[in-house]
Amino acid sequence: MKIEKSIAGVWNHWIRDNMHLVKYNLGDSYPAPQLSLKNVLDCYSDGESLLRDLALSPLDYGPHTEPEGLREEICKFYPSAVAKNIVLAHGAIAANDIVIRSLYEPGVNCVCIAPAYQQLLSSPKAHNYGYREVLLSYQNSFKLDFKELRSKVDRNTKLIILGNPNNPAGAACSEKELKAIIEIVESVGAYILCDEIYNIFEYDVKIPTIFGMYDKAIVTNSLSKAFGFPGLRVGWIVANKELAEEFSTVRDISGLSIGWLDEIIAVLALQKHDELSRKYLKNIRKNWELLDEWVNRNPHLSYVRPDGGSVAIVKFDFNMSSTDFCQRLVLEYGVNLLPGISFDIDDAFRIGFTCETKDLIKGCEEIDKFCKKLEETV
C-alpha cells in the first residue's frame, strides 16, 4: 500500500519535543481541561457504587453478539436510527477507515471535499480509488461549489467524502445543502461518508446529521471531540442495516471489539452528556465570539468565521511558511497552533478555541505581539 505520511504527524512529532515551552495550547480541537471518569461518576448519585461495578467488570472481549447498551445510547443522537444501524469502532479514525476500505472495488473513484482531516483524503488514495477533489476555497468562504461537485461525479463514483462541519475551516452544510449533495450523488448511486465529529459544536447555524436523509448516507463520529473523551477510543459508524452488517465484519478482522471498560464508561458518559457538556459548550461559544473579535482587530489576520466546530483557519499576511510561523510562535511566545500546511493551506494556521477563555485571550495577545515583531522585520 502506498500511503502518504501524516503531515500533522510531522508537527506533532516536533511539538512533542517542545511541549515544555507551550504556555497556551491553541492547537487542539477537543475540550480542555479534559474530563475524567470521576467527572462522569459525579453526575450520578450512586457514583461510588458505579465505580465499584466498573472495577469489577471482567476485562474480556465484548460479548460476541454486541450488547445493545452503548449502541442504543448512540441512537438517541440519530432520530431515524436503531441499534442495528450502529457499528462501534476504535475512534472515528477506525470508523472512517472501515467505511473507505469496505466500499472499495476495482475501477471506482472517490470524490473528496478538501480541505479535510488528512485521513479523509489520504485513505481513499491509499486504497486505490480514483481520486478526485473538490476544493472549498477561502475566496468563496469555504462554501461548496455544487457545479464543481456535479462535474466530478460520474457513474464510477462510489463514494463522496466530507466533514460536516469541516475540519479545519468550520464551514457547515445546512439541511438544504446536504439535500443538494444527495441529489447529485443519488443519480449515480454513490455513497456519502460524512464525518460529523464536530457537529455538536454548532453556533448560529443548525448542523443536521445526514443520516436518514439518504439510504446510502453513512455517518462517522466518536467520543473524542465534541463529547470530550479522546482517550476512550470509542467511535461509531451509522449506516443502513445491510451496510452496518458488512462494516461490522470488516471491523472484526481489523480490530475486533472496542475496550470493554471503555464501552461501559461511554454509556455512563453519554447518559449524562447534557450535564457534562453544558459547561464546556458555553465556554466554547464564548471563545468563538472572542476569536471573531480578535481576528477582526488584528490587521495581519483574516478568516472565514466558522459555522461550527472548534477550530478555524486563520490566514496571515507574512511572507513565511505556516510551519515557520508556528514554530517561532512556540519557541518565542509559548503558543501552540497547527500549521495550515497540514491542510495544504500554507499561509494560514489552524486555531482551536476549546481551551479555557483566559488561555485563549492570553494566547491571542501573544500572537498579536508576534505579529507586531514580524511587522518590523519581515
Instruction: Return the residue of 26, 37, 171, 326 that touches another protein, per CB under 8 A.
Output: 37
Q: How far is the CB of 249 from another protein (least distance, A)?
A: 5
- SS3 (DSSP) at 144: coil
Closest CA relative to residue 315, chosen from 290, 337, 331: 337
Piece in contact with another protein (CB under 8 A), picked from 58-66, 211-219, 333-341, 342-350: 58-66
Backbone angles phi, psi at 325, to 5 degrees: -55, -50
In the stretch 251-280, what mask flags binding to another protein with x, by CB under 8 A?
-xxxxxxxxxxx--x---------------
Give alpha helix (H) positions in 104-174.
119-126, 146-152
Closest CA relative to residue 90, chosen from 254, 324, 298, 228: 254
Piece in contact with another protein (CB under 8 A), picked from 92-100, 181-189, 299-307, 337-345: 92-100
The answer to whether the beta carbons of residues 164 and 207 sit under 8 Å apart is yes
Note whether 64 binds another protein by CB under 8 A: yes
Cα of first residue to Cα of last residue in the chain, in angstroms, is 42
Instruction: Return the residue of 126, 173, 210, 330 that touches another protein, per CB under 8 A.
Output: 126
Note whether 61 binds another protein by CB under 8 A: yes
Instruction: Return the residue of 33, 176, 299, 358 that touches another protein, per CB under 8 A.
Output: 33
Cell numbers for 206: 443548525
Instruction: Return the residue of 14, 21, 22, 34 that touches another protein, per CB under 8 A.
Output: 34
Cβ nearer to another protein, comparing 40 with 367: 40
Instruction: Return the residue of 109, 123, 283, 342 that touches another protein, per CB under 8 A.
Output: 123
Closest CA relative to residue 173, chosen from 273, 181, 348, 236: 181
Q: Of residues 196-255, which lie at the interface with another protein (CB under 8 A)?
A: 224, 229-233, 246, 249-250, 252-255
Residue with cell 492547537: 27
Piece in contact with another protein (CB under 8 A), picked from 90-98, 165-173, 282-290, 312-320: 90-98
Task: Find all residues with CB under 8 Å of 315, minimum gap 6, and list them.
Answer: 138, 301, 302, 303, 340, 345, 347, 348
Distance (Å, whole) CA 197 – CA 219: 9
Note whether 104 binds another protein by CB under 8 A: yes
Binding site for another protein (CB under 8 A): 1, 3-6, 9, 12, 16, 33-38, 41, 51-52, 54-65, 89-91, 93-94, 97, 102, 104-105, 118-119, 122-123, 126, 224, 229-233, 246, 249-250, 252-262, 265
